[in-house]
Structure 1
């Protein structure tokens, strides 16, 4: 019997989730069908109700519905509760719907696949929005030496630092106060680089051997990754591996089987490059 899954979003045409999960299904032999559905804003709950009532087993949730999914879930995993947002819904055997957030663990697993060491590193996160909330708990579990959140609006960084203080010391900062500091890992959690914008970063921000990671991805390096290369970052990566990693974690939640991510990342990267060259 084939189980049905889907991704809800608005817009949704660009979503690579059906492609990713089709690969996972072929790879693991799991009998699943996976579609994408554009949901009108304000109608997430009835759409989810209909999906599960018609036999759906699980949903991925993307912009702008992660808060709606958080409210919809009957039960939340600890990491979803901490993130305050849900990107994965799973129908439980008792008929209740569990909400999870797999974004952060998707990013951390991608960094491990890249061979990046996180323990004992000085970490800087740029931005203090919802995406950053999702990555903070798994990141803090890696025991970095320090973690700083820099944001244009200092108050938002301070709120995040306070809200996650029980996980360890998090330092809020404005961009101007980064002058004179150096970091081993810099993560861009803003979407600004997709629009060609970049926070004002000091020239000497990167420590020797530093790694730079952008949660966004594209056919071309983002503006942030271009800045990283120009300023001597030893290793750079965009968020394509995180996208596949969070999907793999969703697949595991649904099917209790962990698919291989590297072949899917490689194929998606090839398709992005082909589109760029077309």
Structure 2
């Protein structure tokens, strides 16, 4: 049976095995997919061992996405721009890397009818999660992308790095000007129940909010969005499912349906509350 896996540290919490098992069942693909805990100082060796044991492809999650990019013989353009890889596959002896996070985010935004073309978007954070989605947001032809981060220099550095893709600015939270059609939280603040210093007027009338994190109840950012009057207010579970679907397409050449998998995961989160 064709073998796939997700590598991370920690990894026990990963929903990827369930997601890909659902994709395999619905598309009739014969494959196995497991979660593998890679040592913090032994990721390259874990990938090599996986390949030697017959592995055909893998997902990569924290904290190994940048290491994965350096391991690859070839990178997709979006992975090269992001400097990070979440999807690995082999072509002969060559290890190939892609980054499906941005496409997963954009697919989920569009699925929920959140317009991007020509819109003003505020992206919070300057870490790997943010870096991974910038190329696809710009490919979706947003009107202006503003990156805001506690450390202003990091946001400005990202804006400069991606400036060739279109209208991008970066700075500190205190430098945010005007209102936005869409605010995306790419910080890890939600995981510690912290909220970036946002003002209600930053969200335009009829605007939407998206937290790349998710949990079994609305994140603190989602709570702010609700109180501020966001028309559409989402967490990142849909992005997780959609980016997995893109990986599955790369590996298997077929497109799985994502709605039923998303509904299953939402039901599980509901049961956990």
User: TM-score, normalized by length of structure 2?
Assistant: 0.98
Q: CA deviation at 1:144?
A: 1.2
Q: CA deviation at 1:56?
A: 0.5
2:244 and 2:200 map into 1 onto residues whose CA distance is 35
Q: How many residues align?
A: 273
Counterpart among 250, 263, 266 of residue 263 in structure 2: 266
Structure 1 SS opposite 2:3: strand
Q: CA deviation at 1:140?
A: 0.3
Match of 2:202 in 1: 205
2:200 and 2:11 map into 1 onto residues whose CA distance is 38
1:110 and 1:156 map into 2 onto residues whose CA distance is 27
1:85 and 1:104 map into 2 onto residues whose CA distance is 11
User: Does the 8 Å contact 2:153/2:171 carry over to 1?
Assistant: no
2:246 and 2:200 map into 1 onto residues whose CA distance is 37
Counterpart among 181, 186, 206 of residue 184 in structure 1: 181
Runs (4+) of structure 1 exceeding 3 A deviation are none
2:8 and 2:109 map into 1 onto residues whose CA distance is 26
1:49 aligns with 2:48: yes
Of 120-129 and 169-178, the range deviating more from structure 2: 169-178
2:131 and 2:201 map into 1 onto residues whose CA distance is 27
Match of 1:163 in 2: 161
Q: CA deviation at 1:265?
A: 0.5
2:142 and 2:248 map into 1 onto residues whose CA distance is 28
Match of 1:77 in 2: 76
2:124 and 2:75 map into 1 onto residues whose CA distance is 27
Structure 1: runs of 5+ lacking an equivalent:
none
Structure 2: runs of 5+ lacking an equivalent:
none
1:178 and 1:37 map into 2 onto residues whose CA distance is 41
Match of 1:35 in 2: 34
What are the Cα deviations for residues 144-186 of structure 1, in whole angstroms up to 9, with x where unaligned? 111100111110011000000110120112111225x100000
1:172 and 1:95 map into 2 onto residues whose CA distance is 40
